[in-house]
Structure 1
Amino acid sequence: MVYAQIKAKLTGLFPQSPGVEVANNGVVPGEMSVVPQIPLGVDEVYKRYVCENSNPLTCAWTQKSLEQDPTAKQCLNCGFPAILPPKTEIRGYRGRYRIDGFLGGRGMGRLYQGVQLADQQPVVIKEYLLPQRVFNQEETREKKQAFERLAGLSLADGRVQDIRLILPWDAIADPTAERCYLVTTGIQDTYPTLRKYLHEHGAMNENEVYHVLNQVLQTLQFLHGQKFTLPSGQVQQGIAHGNLSLDSLLLIAHELEFFTHVCDLAVWETLFELPNTKQSSPTFTQDLKNLGYIAFYLLSGNTVDSNNQALDPKIEQHWPSVRQEFQAFLFRLLELDKPFISAEEARQALIQITPVTQNQVLVIEGEEETKKTFHPLYWLLLSLLGLAFLAGIIWLLIKIFYKPEVTTQDAVVCCLKDVPGVPPGKYNYTGEKSATWSYILQQSNLILQNQTLEEKLKESQPKLQINYRPEEKLEIAIAKVQSGQYNFAVTNLVNQLPQQMRYKEFAYDGLVVFVAFSYSQRDQNLPEPLRGQISLEQLRNLYTGKIKYWNQLNPQLPKLRVNLYIPSEAEAVNIFKERVLKEPNAIDTFERLQKINNQQDTFTDNEPIVITRLHTLEMVRRILQDFEKDDKNQAERIGSIGFATLSQVFGQCSVYPLAIVDGNQEAVQSLVQSDTNKPINPKTDLCDDKGSYSPNLEVFKNGTYPLSYPMVVVYLGDNSRPPIGQKFAEMLKTQEVQNLLEQTGLVPLQKNNK
């Protein structure tokens, strides 16, 4: 119900979906209205401009100047750079964009509604200014260079996760003007900030603030804990937001829910402060403290008191009435009590506090019980729900008697034959020869007897002829798509695609690490003493030769010789090097050990570990054979380990896929028991219970399984070409093909209703 309350209050503040109607000379009604607050740093940077609003980024005169003189480059009142007129075009690295209208100021920049010209999709363009009165020529050049190096983030492992973090699509330094532009896709950047919400509606209640905190802490946990790649190619483990405030959190409504999205990271936002500004490095703990102040202001309904003095959480009178345990939590965020050491710890502490339920009697120490009352919005919501129910009945009746053609690009349809707008003709596409897609596409009997997935796809779209021509290396395949030799490619998501390339996910896969398994001899198996899990650090030590016997890993394990296996598929090995080995020295050692050919029948402590490369199914057989050897000499006993893609190993019950531990995180198992949705364990009979377990969709979807990755269709973002790449992705996302992909061993995008 808390979501509905926020949604009701925000009626009129949100842009109309799917686009934003721009009117009144480019200003979106109700959006980005000027709030009588000056964002931190703006008044200092632009104080050389005598702005009557004290903030030229939001001053109405920059727009009035354009109305009076459509060619005006500066404000006619103070000389500050005027806003960009509609129809202005900007050339970026990932496309060309057209300005449709001015939205207003936020943080250190100004926002415009626009479109990407190639596909007419909506974008938001944030303009940062480097006016000559403030920055000299050398400072401007340095800031533009830094902007293009730093403005943007992507996960270093190539995954794409929606964790309510608004990230740039394109970063452009204007070569001739005193401006830089940050482009985001869609319309999320047009939604109101928390500052605007407070200005329009006042304080949030405790439950609403609880949900804001929970969502932002999730985003911070992601931001602080993941490894990111900057546009310069620099890889960084964990990034502090550094600019968390009421201005950098947006409220986005969706049906009966609201979400708090995070934007304007300090890594690029602070580039436009004064050159001599003393800047401290953003820290994770400062992010938490800033979030504490945000929560305090949301509860109070303002940032200043009646005397226009800053609200101070150290002053008891400045606190609104909240439950004692919730205030104690905020004290820790604000560092007024023992501070949290991480966003993860803070969120775990938050979820231990039960949210206030709708109409719950709230008792504050020293106060009377509050009387249960029903807010007028409650009755309004009931009325709206009644109307929605009636509308739903009408819609259902219409749907029964009238079935319009589906035209939405990303609509998920039932069957291959129902995918709309598939361009007929002959098309060639590619991928990596020794990779997952090549295996599942052309392997007979994976889905139907004597039929491949490739044959099934061709059978369902007779007017479409698509030919798969894999290349030896993925880099070659992507380059040939970029040059137009192929129409698209199918692969796992690579780390850094060229800027012109786009992709659509259609399934998930991942690496699994496995050891021999026999249910009848489970007490002698490795899964039992390993407790069904292994850490990434332990894997690094094994595959770099630091460990030769299992008891070196854990004294409770038997003294078994270690045999190491890897798959012949280059795709799987490359992901293993990137996700597990990580460091260049470890990768070099791993490569060197593969070249050692140990032909001796005996094994001594002085001999190096040997890594054997085999096809996946042969590797599975060899690992089981190693386990079943009946050697009388204890020193000759073997405990083998290998890894491969889940799609090729799933259902092979002679090996056990180990849960993976990443650092201090809990172990994550790739398979769950279908009836209980609990992870499998070494006591699960993988052979007799086939069909009773399946891939854990949730850990693949949210990326918590450390070795998971999406499967994608990659194509060139060029509207002059037939949209066969996009349409092929739609074909793969149909319910029919998602069922088939699940049979091949891939993890579907969602649970299928078979």
Structure 2
Amino acid sequence: MPIKKNLYQEYRCYCNTPLNCDRPLQTVIDTPEAKHLPVKYCTGCGFPAIIAQNTEIKGNRIYKVTSFLGTRGLGRMYSGVRIDNNQPVVIREYLLPNRSFNDEETRQRKEKFQRVAGVSLADGRNQNFRLINAVEAIKDERGERCYLIIQEVDVSQTLRQYLQENGAMEASQVREVLNQALQTLQFLHTQKLRLPANQIQQGMAHGNISLDSILIKLEKNQNHQSNQQFYIYFCDLAIYESLFEHPTVQASQAKPEEDLIALGLAAFYLCLGRDIDSNSGQPLNPKDDRLWSNTDSHLKLFLHQLIGLDTPFESAEIARKALLQLPKPSQSNSFTTSQQEEKQEKGWNKTWFVFWGILALILLGGGMWYFLRPKYPSLKRENPLWSRLVPNFSDVPNLPPREFTYTAEKNSTWGFILRQKPQTTKLVEETLTKVSNTTFNYQAVQSPDVRVRSLPLDTVRECTIQSCKAYFAITSFPAEDGGLKSQAIASDGLLIYVAHSKKDSNLPQLLKGKISLDSLRKIYTGQITNWKDVDKNLPDLPIKPYAPTEPEAVLLFQKRVLNDDPQSIANYKTVTTQYTQATEETTKVIRAQFDENQAGIIAFGIIGKVWNQCNAYPLAISDSDNKGNAIQPLFKPEGQPIDPDIDLCIKRNYYIDESNFQRYPLGNQLFVVYPKDNSLPPGGSAFCKLLITREGQSLLQKAGLVPLLSLPENACQ
């Protein structure tokens, strides 16, 4: 639940809210010598003053304060720069005033702050789930302050500030806020996360959701508010924000179900344009039915469930699925007052006439779309990103009229994708080589050892105006240095598969369609060599653990399944030496060997080579021995995961569900990597922009990749 404001009652502030008082700022402005003082306090009550301009904050890097931005929640915000590279940052200052916290409380909270302030995916994936995260957490060793350093993003307006400037949101906008917010909560609640001190935990509740901890980024150059596109970001997680509550406040363990309630209340306030009753000064009560409008009754019922006034949703994922299945509002999307409803009733005849006119236009437009629609297939409608993408390659502006050479690892996912013919007899490589007046020539290179060095990335790093062998690279692993920019263009990953036999007792059925990462680890390091040792109900049959030949796929397996452990990797190489071959060859022999009781092959391979064949069954994967949480990425047309009873040889429209795939333990992304140097021709950003169009995402999906679900606003810049 949202953190309550701390009034620091030990300080006799004239406005009774020292954190939001302007006198600490005035102290710095009015005191010429303030910049020379190591510690500054408000001249009125003694509360810690605003940090003076040009003050340096030292952590792993040194940062300099440039200006005070304001307060949010329990912290103050400053703009700043990282001194060694002059990169802009946002500095969030937290206070532990000595009149409110004793020395031991201060010490404990500072230490915990450094341990928990910031989260990332435990497996190292670099995915954007619209969560404002910290670059560094710094404790002031001798003072009363802690600092959170945030890489500057052009997102600073809270939903509260948005309401103050724009008033209530329309129902369609509230739906989109909920859609994006629930997607982020689904990620936060279910993913395996890593904290700064290297602790791993399965999921985390936000615990501090309110109009002040949800930020909104409006797309630029949009004139009509009702159609304005935006992105929603979460910030100020309770795991570290609550450390700066007054010691008398008893912190409780944040729970995912409380996040859903808090989000529902925030959406309720967005509908109304305010959260406080002007007469009582208390928060508006969603139980007061007079506050609700009937113009979007479906959204109202949904919010009742989200807030808990009706049967609550069990998870963010279930709530989001229900949201996406809501019927569209039958009337205006805006929340109206009773007076507006009365006017609508008086003007019923006019509205009825307009309704039929609009319906006729919709039918006419639908007919035109049917005959003039693009020839490439659409992604599923529930993908929230789809409607925001540029439609076609031809709609991408400012493509540079020149030739670019680019690269990727030899025998990689990208090389496979380029050889596919997803729609016609034309290869993907042919489609992407010439777009308008821009030419992209592909040249693969082979790294001696991708674990040690990526030759494609090294080639891009060496690109200069005078000489450039490759302007960008396509890779399964993002660059980790400051000179290159990595932008995800699609999701990829590994499928673990066994023989899909027609025998009465076959491995998919005996395994109940799933396997744990721990069992995989033991199989591929030689600790388990017979299926009966995986489970007593399995046959007495030798295991042959096969591996593919793609270096990036093997590296991903070693990172995700073997946890990058050197001894496990050495054992893996010993076990798989005689069983390493192309995935296409493995899928040819896997069923025959099982049917003839020779061996039970288990293998892994990239999605594009495994998902659309029927000799092998892709297993659901769990990240623990509790296989109840196993994730199956392949879905039936009816919207349910496949099961071992299915006959994959009966061709149907099986697909990878994008939303479900975000939780798949062996999922990964494919990146375009290009130099940040703006003096170079923008080949990488141009290619990237093409691939994140609807046409590009559809092309990649048909070729064997998984479309993206989200993009940062500065994608491909």
Query: How far apart, CA to CA, are the structure 1 residues paired with 2:707 and 2:266?
Result: 39
User: Counterpart of 1:270 in structure 2: which amino acid?
Assistant: S
Q: CA contact under 8 A between 2:498 and 2:508: conserved in structure 1?
A: no
Q: CA contact under 8 A between 2:545 and 2:575: conserved in structure 1?
A: no
CA drift at 1:40: 1.9
| Aligned counterpart for 2:34 among listed residues 63, 72, 95 | 72
Q: Per the alignment, do residues 548 and 212 of structure 1 end up closer, same or farther by CA in structure 2, a change over 3 Å counting?
A: same
Aligned partner of 1:503 in structure 2 is: 486
Q: Per the alignment, do residues 299 and 741 of structure 1 end up closer, same or farther by CA in structure 2, a change over 3 Å counting?
A: closer
- What SS does the aligned partner of 2:605 have? strand
Q: CA contact under 8 A between 2:399 and 2:686: conserved in structure 1?
A: no
Deviations 1:145-191 (A, max 9, x none): 43333222112233344434322344444567645133143221x11
Query: How far apart, CA to CA, are the structure 2 residues paired with 1:68 and 1:471?
Result: 63
Q: Per the alignment, do residues 299 and 703 of structure 1 end up closer, same or farther by CA in structure 2, a change over 3 Å counting?
A: closer
| Aligned counterpart for 2:666 among listed residues 700, 707, 710 | 707
| Aligned counterpart for 1:514 among listed residues 491, 497, 520 | 497
Aligned partner of 1:263 in structure 2 is: 235
Aligned partner of 1:242 in structure 2 is: 207
Deviations 1:25-53 (A, max 9, x none): xxxxxxxxxxxxx9724313xx3433333
| Aligned counterpart for 1:106 among listed residues 51, 69, 72 | 72
CA drift at 1:731: 9.5
Query: How far apart, CA to CA, are the structure 1 residues paired with 2:162 and 2:547?
Result: 55
The correspondence of residues 192-211 of structure 1 with structure 2, limited to 5 A, is 192-194=158-160, 196-197=161-162
CA drift at 1:226: 1.0
Choose 49-58 or 297-306, whichever is displaced more: 297-306
Aligned partner of 2:604 in structure 1 is: 643
Report the count of equivalent residues.
640
CA drift at 1:283: 1.9
What is the root-mean-square deviation of aligned Cα atoms in Å? 6.3
Structure 1 residue 220 corresponds to structure 2 residue 188: no
Deviations 1:444-500 (A, max 9, x none): 999xx9x9989x999x9999999946242525559x969x89999864237x95789
Aligned partner of 2:276 in structure 1 is: 303
Query: How far apart, CA to CA, are the structure 2 residues paired with 1:411 and 1:513?
Result: 34
User: Counterpart of 1:359 in structure 2: which amino acid?
Assistant: S
Aligned partner of 2:15 in structure 1 is: 53
Q: CA contact under 8 A between 2:123 and 2:560: conserved in structure 1?
A: yes
CA drift at 1:622: 3.8
Aligned partner of 2:123 in structure 1 is: 157
Aligned partner of 1:42 in structure 2 is: 6
Structure 1 residue 470 corresponds to structure 2 residue 451: no
Q: CA contact under 8 A between 1:159 and 1:703: conserved in structure 2?
A: no
Structure 1 residue 147 corresponds to structure 2 residue 116: no
The correspondence of residues 110-125 of structure 1 with structure 2, limited to 5 A, is 110-113=76-79, 123-125=89-91
Query: How far apart, CA to CA, are the structure 2 residues paired with 1:562 and 1:748?
Result: 34
Aligned partner of 1:320 in structure 2 is: 291
User: Counterpart of 1:53 in structure 2: which amino acid?
Assistant: C
CA drift at 1:115: 6.0
Q: Per the alignment, do residues 411 and 141 of structure 1 end up closer, same or farther by CA in structure 2, a change over 3 Å counting?
A: farther
Q: CA contact under 8 A between 2:632 and 2:664: conserved in structure 1?
A: yes
Q: Per the alignment, do residues 121 and 374 of structure 1 end up closer, same or farther by CA in structure 2, a change over 3 Å counting?
A: farther
Structure 1 residue 183 corresponds to structure 2 residue 164: no
Q: Per the alignment, do residues 282 and 720 of structure 1 end up closer, same or farther by CA in structure 2, a change over 3 Å counting?
A: same
Aligned partner of 2:344 in structure 1 is: 373
Q: CA contact under 8 A between 1:203 and 1:302: conserved in structure 2?
A: no
The correspondence of residues 682-693 of structure 1 with structure 2, limited to 5 A, is none
User: Counterpart of 1:168 in structure 2: which amino acid?
Assistant: A
Query: How far apart, CA to CA, are the structure 1 residues paired with 2:678 and 2:483?
Result: 13
| Aligned counterpart for 1:620 among listed residues 579, 587, 593 | 587
- What SS does the aligned partner of 1:567 have? coil
CA drift at 1:264: 0.8
CA drift at 1:709: 0.8
Structure 1 residue 83 corresponds to structure 2 residue 50: yes
Query: How far apart, CA to CA, are the structure 2 residues paired with 1:567 and 1:302?
Result: 57
User: Counterpart of 2:13 in structure 1: which amino acid?
Assistant: C
CA drift at 1:103: 2.6
Query: How far apart, CA to CA, are the structure 2 residues paired with 1:731 and 1:54?
Result: 51
Q: Per the alignment, do residues 695 and 292 of structure 1 end up closer, same or farther by CA in structure 2, a change over 3 Å counting?
A: closer
Q: Per the alignment, do residues 305 and 508 of structure 1 end up closer, same or farther by CA in structure 2, a change over 3 Å counting?
A: closer
Query: How far apart, CA to CA, are the structure 2 residues paired with 1:239 and 1:345?
Result: 17
| Aligned counterpart for 2:477 among listed residues 493, 498, 513 | 493
Q: CA contact under 8 A between 1:165 and 1:263: conserved in structure 2?
A: yes
Structure 1 residue 342 corresponds to structure 2 residue 315: yes
Choose 50-59 or 264-273, whichever is displaced more: 50-59
User: Counterpart of 1:373 in structure 2: which amino acid?
Assistant: Q
- What SS does the aligned partner of 1:103 have? strand
Deviations 1:286-326 (A, max 9, x none): 3234335445555664334623356566xx65862456987
- Give the TM-score normalised by the residue count of structure 2: 0.65
Query: How far apart, CA to CA, are the structure 1 residues paired with 2:476 and 2:304?
Result: 45
Q: Per the alignment, do residues 712 and 527 of structure 1 end up closer, same or farther by CA in structure 2, a change over 3 Å counting?
A: same
Query: How far apart, CA to CA, are the structure 2 residues paired with 1:465 and 1:204?
Result: 47
